[in-house]
């Protein structure tokens, strides 16, 4: 894996991590806090260029974005401190995005419990820590449907995980665990309550890359 510094239009240097090749999509991974390195590892294994995003200017030139899991309150405070909420909200309105665990919470329009700095771009209501606190973390099969009429099983790793209580009319349910909604899709945005980056199954990251390629044609 090779790192290189590139200049944005403002002249600021940002670090990209990539492997040799051409015409690869560049995917940002929000790196304020949480499991961002694991997402970088998985995307790199799929041949994408990646960029760790900590400032608004580092969104420039990206083809897609991952918002990782982590501590959702801390992540929200850091977003506000770094002035990221507005630029992130604008970016995810126009680019493919994958949000995992706390990333799903960030994308949501509403939460049932607690004040959160939300991007409010997905018409869903989430419940934080719905499956329980850290001691109630678990692994379980997830019923996943990324294509119409196709249902598959994916191994889900749930850590202080939310679930989705309500979905709006433009939202598809794409994943369930024990009857609860743990994955949703709205347009080019996907949010899941579990941590695919902590396992070895790349399907959700591969789906994000497919969405990016489709958006570039």
**Annotated catalytic residue within 16, 143, 197, 211:** 197
Domain ranges of the chain: 2-216
Clarify whether 195 is annotated catalytic.
yes
Tell the burial category of 20 from Cβ atoms under 10 Å away from its Cβ (0-12, 13-18, 19+): exposed
**Annotated catalytic residue within 95, 195, 205, 211:** 195
Q: What is the pTM of this model?
A: 0.87
Clarify whether 177 is annotated catalytic.
no
Bridge partner list, 49: 26
Taking residues 165-182, what's their average pLDDT? 97
Over the stretch 80-92, which tens digit does the pLDDT of each residue have?
A: 888 999 999 999 9
* Closest CA relative to residue 67, chosen from 117, 17, 101: 101
Clarify whether 166 is annotated catalytic.
no
Mean pLDDT across the chain:
88
Taking each helix axis from N to C end, the angle separating 203-216 and 36-45, rounded to the nearest 10 degrees, works out to: 70
* Other Cβ atoms within 10 Å of 170 Cβ, number: 10
* Contact (Cβ atoms closer than 8 angstroms) between residue 189 and residue 150: no
Asked which of 6-10, 104-108, 124-128, 150-154 is least confident by mean pLDDT, the reply is: 6-10
* Contact (Cβ atoms closer than 8 angstroms) between residue 161 and residue 127: no
Q: Which two tokens stand for residue 16?
A: 């990209």
- pLDDT > 60? residue 17: no
* Contact (Cβ atoms closer than 8 angstroms) between residue 25 and residue 48: yes
**Annotated catalytic residue within 16, 39, 95, 101:** 101
Angle in degrees, CA 40, 3, 104, rounded to 5: 20
How far apart (Å, rounded) are the C-alpha atoms in residues 4 and 15? Answer: 6
The confidence score (pLDDT) of residue 130 equals 87
Domain at 2-216: CATH code: 3.40.50.880
Alpha-carbon torsion angle 54, 59, 64, 70, nearest 10: 20
């Amino acid at each position: 894996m090779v790192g290189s510094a590139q200049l944005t239009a403002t002249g600021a240097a940002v670090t990209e991590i990539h492997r040799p090749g051409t015409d690869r999509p560049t995917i940002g991974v929000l790196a304020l806090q949480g499991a961002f390195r694991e997402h970088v590892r998985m995307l790199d294994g799929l041949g994408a260029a990646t960029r760790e995003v900590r400032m608004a200017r580092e969104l420039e030139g990206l083809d897609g974005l991952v918002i990782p899991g982590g501590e959702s309150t801390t992540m929200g405070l850091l977003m506000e401190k770094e002035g990221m909420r507005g630029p992130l909200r604008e970016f995810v309105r126009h680019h493919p995005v994958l949000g995992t665990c706390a990333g799903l919470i960030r994308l949501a329009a509403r939460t049932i419990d607690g004040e959160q700095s939300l991007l409010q771009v997905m018409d869903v209501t989430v419940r934080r820590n719905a499956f329980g606190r850290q001691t109630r973390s678990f692994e379980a099969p997830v019923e996943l449907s990324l294509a119409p009429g196709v249902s598959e099983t994916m191994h889900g790793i749930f850590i202080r995980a939310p679930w989705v209580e309500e979905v709006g009319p433009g939202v598809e349910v794409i994943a369930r665990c024990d009857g609860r909604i743990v994955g949703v899709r709205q347009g080019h945005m996907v949010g899941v309550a579990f941590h695919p980056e902590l396992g070895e199954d790349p399907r959700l990251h591969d789906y994000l890359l497919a969405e990016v390629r489709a958006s570039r044609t």
